Chains A and B, each alone.
Chain A
Amino acid sequence: MSGRKKSTRYYLLALVLGYIAVLILLPIGALIANTFAKGGMTFLKVLCRQDVLHAFVLTFSLSAVAVVLNAVFGVVIAWVLVRHQFPGRNLLNALVDLPFAVSPVVAGYMLILLFGRTGWFYPLLQATGLKVVFSLPGMAIATTFVSLPFVIREVMPVLQEIGLEEDQAAYTLGANGWQTFWRVTFPGIRWGLLYGVTLTFARALGEFGALFVVSGAVSGETETATLFVFRAMDERLYQEAYAVSLTLAAVSFFVLLAMEALRKRIHEEA
């Protein structure tokens, strides 16, 4: 290894580390420093506020709904996309990614157009007395929409790898379709599914734009943790905004650690 090459190596490493430090670590450090600038008690006091607790409960509940719906239907959709042959399958496969690309604001607006006063489904809602826009069902749909592709994208490659042999063996031995799924297919996809669920959960926790449009953000009612942060910034309640932001970031960090552990697990199994 020549001296010149070695120095290129150090410059390149320094450049990349410097970039990550300035782009990612510096802002995170600033958030931590400002949250605790007034001491740890202020931080705890903010988290014990009634509206903040309510916001976190709502955020976790909406994420739970999104996780359950997208886990169940995600596996079904992944299965159909991998195992079924039908016209338009390739296009469908590409379009599944749309929630990643569509702006969250537009996602929220779509629901207003569908379920709002002039929407296609409004007559149906009136007949049943349900409320979607500016209330929890709409927020649950919005959260589910933005996190829809994760489980599908994580389960599909695993299903492809598993192939059909084991399923067919089970079937030949007399297991029915349902038994085959639970005893043979499911153990094969469970880590991929769990990874997808983790990603879904992380994305759902942090959703803002779609909820902002569809919720009406009534404090103590339809205000999630991210919506609280936005209102607090707007009303110059900076300590409140920082404390909730940091908590959200910390939860995301732990979700990330779980993801890393899972990824190792998946690699070991592969």
Chain B
Amino acid sequence: MSKMKAGPLSLRLSAIAYLAFMLFIPLAAVLQDGLRSGFSSFANSLFNPAAWHALKLTVWTAVVMALINAVMGTLTAYVMVRYAFPGRAWLNSLIDLPFAIPTLVTGVMLVILYGPQQVLGGWLKNHWGWEIIFAPAGIILALLFVTFPLVVRTVEPLLMEIDEDQEEAARALGASSWTTFWRVLFPAILPGILTGTLLTFSRALGEFGSVVVVAGNIPFKSQTAAVYVWGELESQNRQGASAMSVLLVALSFLMILLVDWFEKRRGKTRVRS
């Protein structure tokens, strides 16, 4: 009986073999190459000024973007769940669009819109002194576009679970809508906001297609960590590429485990993305 329940052992072996070949062996190859000449040369490669600048830029743009996305994603989810308005179903499909559009195309679209020779980009630059393309602002815009659905889609199911009665009760007891939000709604959806924001952040750390078009490959200005890896590969500096790759892989690992731990604590299975 137990044989039937689970299927033969060969099934498990082929599953593990596929994951090993596709996932674990390639990851091991990067780790081995990055740490090949010892930890100190690994650290040296990361503290090289260009690498360090790229890392700092990647982290701060990702943090700023994740915070904006947390707020706007939560508000969007709230509007989608609680408000009825014409075109809501249409808007609901629109929210997933950034997942479907290739990120490189996202980059191209932003360059068309905000490039210094374009109408809007030129106006922003000449009247306000705002540079977007080849600057951190462009990176943040690209990341916001690419990750927009993540927070919305993790918060939505939690909002749907909440009884509107609780909110009604709070209001009936004299709480303002602001108090109701902070005391009743916010605690209930906070785990979703945090999971969504973590996913957003983790996605942003490795983003390449949109960022390389929008920000280019300008060391000390707009070069992010993923673009740095590519730059090092182009200039045949394998040590630099491997060291940064190891760090990026380690960060992704950490993020994955954090999200997993978080969801286990919530006792929920992963929401559909």
- State the A residues within 8 Å of B (CB): 5, 8-9, 12-13, 15-17, 19-20, 23-28, 30-31, 34, 73, 76-77, 79-81, 83-86, 92-107, 109-114, 119-120, 141, 144-145, 148, 153-154, 157, 160, 164, 167-168, 171, 177, 180-181, 202, 205-209, 212-213, 226, 229-230, 233, 241-242, 245, 248-249, 252-253, 255-257, 259-260
Contacts and interface: CB of A to CB of B under 8 A. Distances in A.
Contact of B18 (A77, A100, A208): A77
A245 B14 CA distance: 38
A27 B30 contact: no
B203 A113 contact: no
Interface string B29-42: 11001000000000
Give the size category of B's interface with A.
35 or more
Given A80-B12, A83-B7, A113 B30 contact: yes
Contacts of A226: 102, 104-105, 209
A252 B120 CA distance: 26
Interface in B73-97: 75-76, 78-79, 83, 85, 91, 93-97
Given A106-B229, A120-B29, A208 B96 contact: no
A220 to B, nearest CB: 19
A113 B33 contact: yes
A177 B7 contact: yes
A189 to B, nearest CB: 14
Contacts of B105: 31, 206, 226, 229, 245, 248-249, 252
B127 interface: no
Per DSSP, chain B at the interface is helix
Contacts of B110: 27
A96 to B, nearest CB: 7
Interface string B54-76: 00000000000000000010011
B101 interface: yes
Nearest to B78: A12
B177 interface: yes
Contacts of B104: 206, 208, 226, 229-230, 245
Contacts of A9: 83
A184 to B, nearest CB: 12
B12 A84 contact: yes
A107 B16 CA distance: 19
A105 B113 contact: no
Q: Is the interface of A mostly helix, strand, loop or mixed?
A: helix
Interface of B: 4-8, 11-12, 14-16, 18-19, 22-27, 29-30, 33, 72, 75-76, 78-79, 83, 85, 91, 93-106, 108-113, 118, 120, 141, 144-145, 148, 177, 202-203, 205-209, 212-213, 225-227, 229-230, 233, 241-242, 245, 248-249, 252-253, 255-257, 259-260, 269-270, 272-273
B25 A101 contact: no
A169 B19 CA distance: 32
A252 B102 contact: yes
B208 A209 contact: yes
A161 to B, nearest CB: 10
B29 A114 contact: yes
Contacts of B106: 27
A253 B97 contact: yes
A114 B79 contact: no
A30 B112 contact: yes
A160 B269 contact: yes
A252 B15 contact: no
Best-surrounded residue of A13, A19, A207 (most CB of chain B within 10 A): A19
A27 B112 contact: yes
